[in-house]
Structure 1
Amino acid sequence: MDIQNIRNKINSTEYDFLRKNKNLGDRIILLTTGGSYAYGTHVETSDTDIRGVAAERKEELLGLSNFEQFEDRVTDTVIYGLRKTINLALAGNPNILEMLGTREDHLLILTEEGKCLRDHADLFLSKRVIQSFGNYATAQLRRLQNALARDSYPQAVKEQHMLNSIQGQMHHFKQKYQQFMNEDIHLYIDKSNKEDYEAEIFMDINLKHYPLRDFKSIYSEMSNVVKDYSQLNHRNKKKDALKLNKHAMHLIRLLITGSEILQGKGIHTYRAAERDYLLEIRSGNFNYEEIFAAVDKLEAEFKYAAQNTVLPDEPNHKAAEELLICIYEKML
């Protein structure tokens, strides 16, 4: 499906919610492609993902109503409220930043306010993308690599891979959870008394007067890593091969996009230069040894970009707030 067909599709009755929902309609300031179409990695069977931003109504800004996002699962459409969009962008959320960097011919709706948002995308860029793009993608790829090699890796080595992934995730805890210090939770490998386990991950915790909800969230994030490893290690090879190839392709794409952002080249969601290569990965035309050899190179390039980036430690919150206020004033 080409872009013109997508334009025709969103004008059909299937997408009437875009025009009839009280939070959408003329409140939509940006509507664009998402997923594989936005990246240029779509195939004939790809879903048509639509992503957008809608400015909240007066009732949400001044009254008791609330609007954060609209989702229609039948059509794979997600439209975020403007305030949530700004907050997620400041956090370096890839889904939001990529929405601000789609190709111009992929813009299905773009108002003056939406253009203003896209034109100031650099306000949201900071070293936070090191975690949200690179560290996340690398951790996922190494987890995938571990699962694929599970037959040849000793159990203790698998456990070390899992620990590395959790520790990679812990780097952003200081930003996400107040009062958290890495030394408060010490993770390490030691001999296990469990049957079929040579070694396992243990932890020493030194927390006092710590918010229960923050600890619950930290535990949940670490638990999800363990759960993901378990799911990968019990997968059906034949059934999941295409899914794993697609997953690897998107993680590699994240590394490439993140490196460009750190190099100061802006956000380029559509991967024209790497499109054929990414589709080759998706199609299974590379074996996993070749894929992870490429990952080693891309990871090294990403680390170099992270070490030499001129991006600030934190995004420009004040300027982002002024942009948000400016857009609201125009629409009110």
Structure 2
Amino acid sequence: MDIKEVLSRPEYQFIQTNPHLGGGSMLFATFGGSHAYGTNKPTSDIDVRGCALNSKRDLLGRTNFEQVIDNDTDTTIYAFNKLIGLLENCNPNTIEMLFGRPDSYVFYHPIGKMLIDKRDMFLSQKAVKSFGGYANQQLRRLECAVARDRLSQAKKEEHTLNSMKSSMKHFEEKYTEFDKGAIVLYTAESPREECDTEIFADIRLTHYPAREFNCIMNELSNVLGTYEKLNHRNHKKDEEHLNKHAMHLIRLYLMCIDLLENGTFSTYREKDIPLLMSIRNGAYQNEDGTYKKEFFDMVSDYDRQMNYAKEHTVLPPKPDYKQIEEFVMYVNEEALKVG
């Protein structure tokens, strides 16, 4: 699909007329979603992503432009300063905008091309947390949907418990005094009539910082709350939607491993497309809608590969903040000239 042809369609004229995007502010536009990854089907929506300069009013005045979202065309255009903050944290949804195929871009301004050329300055070991976190979210959504629609109450509790335990894996990194044995989660017979089993917690903490304890409880409560909300919804996720979650979970692992091992990656997953499309088309799903053991074995294998790559990565611990700052200063000085 030709990005220039797509953007020439009448429904995308808002890019020229929107006060935040027109008048020479646009830097670049590219495909997002399945068309960026190479996992699109004939029925797939077209997602467009891009970046525009902040205006003089944004930089010197009191306006605060962050992004323009057009729901009719599934288009999101980020303000330059907003995008930089996301890129510094290796946010998957934005960093992938800079690593698309060369023919997937429309450049409106030379600075747009400069941003793509300087993309490596944003890459760092922060990718482990950002990509890994997104992968964990996809896995949780997948488990939530399967648990809600197809499993007994006891099995649903087991899925919820596993997600809570997954969240706890990162506590030792985030909380300075957390001992992984201090909180033990498990399922047991419930005294409540409406439940066969439920999740219980044994907590052993002494002289523990109250603020950190509150953060830990909030994280576990958020996981529990996600499942509770899903269990009370009436509609079921269709099979294709479930398989998209499964596909994106594996895609995130593959992209993160690439990045950690090679110091770069490609948003377009040319070599991985057969695997990703087989997942999307249901090859790893059982007839009852649950997922085959081979799929979860694959998830575990990629998780191990990612953790190994993290320990041996060529990426620096942090992005090149000095180079980023100099580039931001240059770009915003140019933005003031545009007005």
* Same fold by TM-score greater than 0.5: yes
1:188 aligned residue (184, 194, 199): 184
Superposed CA offset, 1:31-72 (max 9, x none): 100011001111111111000011101111111111111111
Contact 1:36/1:42 (<8 A) preserved: yes
Question: What is residue 177 of structure 1 aligned with on the other side?
Answer: none
Q: State the distance in 2 between where 1:330 and 1:156 align.
A: 56
2:314 aligned residue (310, 313, 323): 310
Superposed CA offset, 1:108-166 (max 9, x none): 23532112111222211111111111243145326635764744965663343032233
Alignment of 1:137-286 (within 5 A): 137-138=135-136, 140-141=138-139, 144-145=142-143, 148=146, 150-151=151-152, 154=155, 157-168=158-169, 170=171, 174=174, 181=176, 183=178, 187-189=183-185, 193-195=191-193, 196=195, 198-202=197-201, 206-208=208-210, 210=211, 222-230=220-228, 239-286=237-284
Contact 1:162/1:229 (<8 A) preserved: no
1:293 aligned residue (292, 297, 312): 297
Contact 1:143/1:229 (<8 A) preserved: no
Q: Unaligned stretches of 5+ in structure 2?
A: 286-290
TM-score between the two structures when normalised by the length of structure 2: 0.82
3-state SS of 1:249 partner = helix
How far the C-alpha of 1:198 sits from its partner, in A, is: 3.6
Q: State the distance in 1 between where 2:9 and 2:155 align.
A: 55
After superposing the two structures, state which structure 1 stretch, 110-119 or 149-158, moved more. 149-158
How far the C-alpha of 1:233 sits from its partner, in A, is: 5.5
1:310/1:198 CA distance change after superposition, 3 Å: same
1:237/1:298 CA distance change after superposition, 3 Å: farther
Moved over 6 A (4+): 234-238
Contact 1:189/1:199 (<8 A) preserved: no
Q: Aligned Cα RMSD in Å?
A: 3.1
3-state SS of 1:273 partner = helix
**Does 1:322 find its partner at 2:326?**
yes
Contact 1:52/1:80 (<8 A) preserved: yes
2:13 aligned partner, one-letter code: D
1:285/1:155 CA distance change after superposition, 3 Å: closer
Count of matched residue pairs: 319
The alignment-based identity, stated in percent, is 38
2:56 aligned partner, one-letter code: K
Question: What is residue 70 of structure 2 aligned with on the other side?
Answer: 72
1:292/1:69 CA distance change after superposition, 3 Å: same
Question: What is residue 17 of structure 2 aligned with on the other side?
Answer: 20
3-state SS of 2:267 partner = coil
3-state SS of 2:72 partner = coil
Question: What is residue 288 of structure 2 aligned with on the other side?
Answer: none
Q: State the distance in 2 between where 1:321 and 1:194 align.
A: 57
Superposed CA offset, 1:67-125 (max 9, x none): 11111111111011111111011112101100011111110235321121112222111
Contact 2:154/2:197 (<8 A) preserved: no
3-state SS of 1:274 partner = helix
Q: State the distance in 2 between where 1:300 and 1:184 align.
A: 22
2:41 aligned residue (29, 40, 43): 43
1:309 aligned partner, one-letter code: T
Q: Unaligned stretches of 5+ in structure 1?
A: 175-179
